[in-house]
Structure 1
Amino acid sequence: MNTTQTGRPASGAADRTRTAGSAFWIMTRRVTVMAGTVDVLLLLAFLAFDEPLVGWLNLLSIAIYVVAYRALKQRRNRLGLALIWVEVVTHAVVGTVWLGWHIGFHYYLLMFIPAIAVAAGGWQQAFLLGGVLTLYLSLDHWSVEHGPMHPMDPVGQELVYAINVVVVFVFAAYAARYYYQLVAESERRLRQLASTDPLTGLANRRHMLLQAEDVLVQARRIGVPTSVVLIDIDHFKQVNDTCGHEGGDAVLVHVAGLLAANCREADLLARWGGEEFLLVLAASDAEAGHMRAELVRRLVAESPVTVGEVRLPVTLSVGVTVAQPHEGLDEAIARADRALYASKSAGRDRVSLLG
Structure 2
Amino acid sequence: MQARHSNSLYKRDARPEFWQLSMRCCVLAGSIDVAFFFIFLWLGSPILAWINVISVAMYVCAYRAFVHRRNRLGFALIQTEVLVHAGLGTVLVGWESGFHYYLLMFIPALFVSTRARIAWILAAHLWIYYAGLYVLMWYMQPLQPISSNALLGVNIFNLTVVFCMFSYLALFYAITVTRAHTSLSRMAMTDSLTGLFNRRQIVALTEKLLARHHRCPTNLTLMLMDIDHFKQINDEYGHDVGDRVLVTVSQHLQSLMREQDFIGRWGGEEFLGVLPDTDLEQAAETAERLRKAIQVLEIDNDGKKIQVTLSIGITQYRADEVLSNAIARADYALYKGKSSGRNRVEAIQA
TM-score, structure 2 as length reference: 0.89
Equivalent of 2:242 in 236, 243, 248: 248
CA drift of 1:285 comes to: 1.8
Q: Could you list the runs of 5+ residues in structure 2 that have no partner in the other structure? A: 1-11
CA–CA separation in structure 1 for the residues paired with 2:239 and 2:61: 50
Q: Which residue of 2 aligns with 1:197?
A: 191
Residues 220 and 36 from structure 1, CA distance in 2 versus in 1: closer, same or farther, beyond 3 angstroms? same
Q: Which residue of 1 aligns with 2:233?
A: 239
- What pairs up with 1:181-196 in 2 under 5 angstroms? 181-196=175-190
Does the 8 Å contact 2:45/2:144 carry over to 1? no
Q: Secondary structure at the match of 1:353?
A: strand
CA–CA separation in structure 2 for the residues paired with 1:98 and 1:66: 25
Equivalent of 2:286 in 269, 284, 292: 292
CA–CA separation in structure 1 for the residues paired with 2:344 and 2:317: 21
Deviations 1:178-200 (A, max 9, x none): 22322222222222222222221
| Worse-superposed segment, 133-142 or 35-44 | 35-44
Q: Which residue of 1 aligns with 2:318?
A: 324
CA–CA separation in structure 1 for the residues paired with 2:296 and 2:89: 75
Please tell me the root mean square deviation across aligned C-alpha atoms, in Å: 2.2
Equivalent of 1:59 in 53, 58, 67: 53
4+ aligned runs moved over 4 Å, structure 1:
none
| Worse-superposed segment, 36-45 or 297-306 | 36-45
Q: Which residue of 2 aligns with 1:229?
A: 223
- What pairs up with 1:59-78 in 2 under 5 angstroms? 59-78=53-72
CA–CA separation in structure 2 for the residues paired with 1:158 and 1:107: 14
Q: Secondary structure at the match of 2:145?
A: coil
CA drift of 1:308 comes to: 4.2
Q: Secondary structure at the match of 1:201?
A: coil
CA drift of 1:124 comes to: 4.1
CA–CA separation in structure 1 for the residues paired with 2:144 and 2:307: 85
Does the 8 Å contact 2:249/2:294 carry over to 1? yes
CA drift of 1:351 comes to: 0.8
Residues 127 and 248 from structure 1, CA distance in 2 versus in 1: closer, same or farther, beyond 3 angstroms? same
Residues 275 and 35 from structure 1, CA distance in 2 versus in 1: closer, same or farther, beyond 3 angstroms? same
Q: Which residue of 1 aligns with 2:112?
A: 118
The one-letter code of the counterpart of 2:148 is P
- What pairs up with 1:69-218 in 2 under 5 angstroms? 69-121=63-115, 124-218=118-212
Equivalent of 2:262 in 259, 264, 268: 268
Residues 331 and 189 from structure 1, CA distance in 2 versus in 1: closer, same or farther, beyond 3 angstroms? same
CA drift of 1:273 comes to: 1.2
Q: Secondary structure at the match of 2:266?
A: strand
CA–CA separation in structure 2 for the residues paired with 1:331 and 1:81: 59
Equivalent of 2:301 in 307, 310, 324: 307
| Worse-superposed segment, 262-271 or 320-329 | 320-329
Does the 8 Å contact 1:92/1:106 carry over to 2? yes
Q: Could you list the runs of 5+ residues in structure 1 that have no partner in the other structure? A: 1-17
CA drift of 1:204 comes to: 1.1
Q: Secondary structure at the match of 1:199?
A: coil
Does the 8 Å contact 2:297/2:308 carry over to 1? yes
Q: Secondary structure at the match of 1:106?
A: helix
The one-letter code of the counterpart of 1:346 is S
Report the number of matched residues: 338
Does the 8 Å contact 2:313/2:335 carry over to 1? yes
| Worse-superposed segment, 20-29 or 239-248 | 239-248
Q: Secondary structure at the match of 2:320?
A: coil
Q: Percent identity?
A: 42
Q: Which residue of 2 aligns with 1:350?
A: 344
Does the 8 Å contact 1:219/1:282 carry over to 2? no
1:21 matched to 2:15? The reply is yes
Higher normalized contact order (CA 8 Å, seq sep 6+, divided by chain length): 1
CA drift of 1:20 comes to: 4.8
Does the 8 Å contact 1:32/1:68 carry over to 2? yes
CA–CA separation in structure 1 for the residues paired with 2:301 and 2:309: 16
